[in-house]
Amino acid sequence: MANSSVLLFYFIILLSPLIFSSPSSCQMLLLPLTHSLSKTQFTSTHHLLKSTTARSAARFRHPQRHHQQHQQVSLPLSPGSDYTLSFTLGSSSSVSLYLDTGSDLVWLPCHPFECILCESKPEKPDPLNISSTASSVSCQSPACSSAHSSVPTSDLCAVSKCPLDYIETSDCQSFSCPPFYYAYGDGSLVAKLYRESLSMPVSLNHSLVLNNFTFGCAHTTLAEPVGVAGFGRGLLSLPAQLSTLSPHLGNRFSYCLVSHSFDSDRVRLPSPLILGRYEDKEKRVKTDEAEFVYTDMLDNPKHPYFYSVGLEGISVGKKNIPAPGFLKRVDRKGNGGMVVDSGTTFTMLPASLYNSVMDEFDRRVGRVHERASQIEDKTGLSPCYYFDNNVVNVPVLKLHFVGNGSSVVLPRKNYFHEFTDGGDGSSAMKKRKVGCVMLMNSGDDKELSSGPGATLGNYQQQGFEVVYDLEKGKVGFARRECASLWESLNKN
């Protein structure tokens, strides 16, 4: 789950205005919106990177819990460590929530709102005022049971003080679902479930409207000032609820992230998020564009909302480093595998694999370039190197997923970030070019015996279209010029 935002993605949406009345029609429409990044949020590049690495680590160590004519919804994202999705609930103004494939709940802050330990958070959105048209969810609702981690409805009705004879006769519709507790790696909240119409504008005169949309309304949170749009595998996730409107909207979605820049002056191009299914060939911008590389989703009995996949190993140049066995599968207790997560910035690897990969990386790069130990301390990233005016040559990294030929070559910018040290107001320091590997050590393998073994962060997903096909139970990756893909979708 994304916590403190570095950059936001802003909402553009493509959809047939006749989606409810004419499934055979598929005209795409575009609404451009702007994006911005406050330069006052972070005092330096070191501050920004340290904040991001800390959030990635906290999230990992404490995991939260066929078709007719093709139609799709497409949204734009702006690059950054966190991404937000905007829509309207009832008659309220637009709300922006983090897009998170690592959780399965949609929630937002509601008035009156208190966020504990949020003094240092740059984001302070206006809490939502619950509309008079919003309704509480019944304690008998499957949505209530889902929010309370599948607690039986009879228990929930009892907590709601529904009389025994009402419970026995299933007549507790007027009793509301009790408040529930939801925790992430870096924060938590108490919320209550409501239903309201959700609206996504597709043109000046048309909107996609999903009635009886279920969301959590939080009046108190811990270190969570901004709401979350959960895209995980769960009854309350946004894709799952969209599938009640039209199955193809929730059964498959993909996004294509324009490269991170960590520079507000360079953030200009949108990144598409596509809800729905259409032929791969329609996505092609160039005839030589890569096909999707697919790997199977692994069911996780303990964390059923995760998009877990198996990792066979990682290649550094021509050297293949096998992954420990627990990364290739998920056991009966829900342990192991790698989670594909839009809400975590940097990829987290268990110590044995991380150390082997970094040792080989350092063997190739460290013999030529000076190690930047001070930068490692300031950013939480390692290894880092000074390369001054020289061009640093780094080995190619390749991820090998479970499945024949399921290998993904990472572009250099996806795992090696270059910036200037001493250029953030430290005039006494000589400016030097530095580069850091953007992968992180998640801890000792033995300590990872409970929960996911690794996380594939959104930084390593940039420049790929990542597709989540729930119908086929697969996750796919394909290299894309994401800005060109956005333009191509609009032309079609």
Distance CA 490, CA 486 (A): 6
**Residue 142 parent element (H or E):** helix 142-147
CA pair distance 426, 194, nearest whole angstrom? 50
Q: Report CA dihedral (413, 479, 467, 453) to the nearest 10 degrees.
A: -40
Bond into 247 cis (ω within 30): no
Q: How far apart are CA 84 and CA 63, in angstroms?
A: 20
Phi and psi for 175 in degrees, rounded to 5?
A: -95, 125
Q: Which of 361, 453, 369, 374 is nearest to 415 (CA)?
A: 361
Catalytic annotation present for 100: yes
The 3-state DSSP class for residue 287 equals coil
Using an 8 Å Cβ cutoff, are 212 and 136 in contact? Answer: no
Q: Which of 14, 10, 12, 9 is nearest to 492 (CA)?
A: 14
Among 82, 100, 104, 421, the active-site one is: 100
Checking DSSP bridges between strand 94-100 and strand 228-230, what pairing results, if any? parallel
What are the tokens at 193?
């479930």
Give yes or no for a contact between 57 and 348, defined as CB atoms under 8 angstroms apart. Answer: yes
Q: Where are the beta strands (DSSP E) in 387-427?
A: 397-401, 407-410, 416-421
Nearest to 456 by CA among 382, 380, 348, 378: 348
Beta strands in 101-226 (DSSP E): 106-116, 135-136, 180-184, 187-201, 207-222
Q: How far apart are CA 136 and CA 299, in angstroms?
A: 32
Rounded to whole angstroms, the Cα distance separating 69 from 441 reads 45
Selecting among 82, 104, 186, 341, the annotated active-site residue is 341
238, two tokens: 């946004």
Query: Are residues 252 and 469 in contact, defined by beta-carbon separation less than 8 angstroms?
Result: yes
- The reply to whether 377 belongs to the active site is no
Catalytically active residues are 100, 341
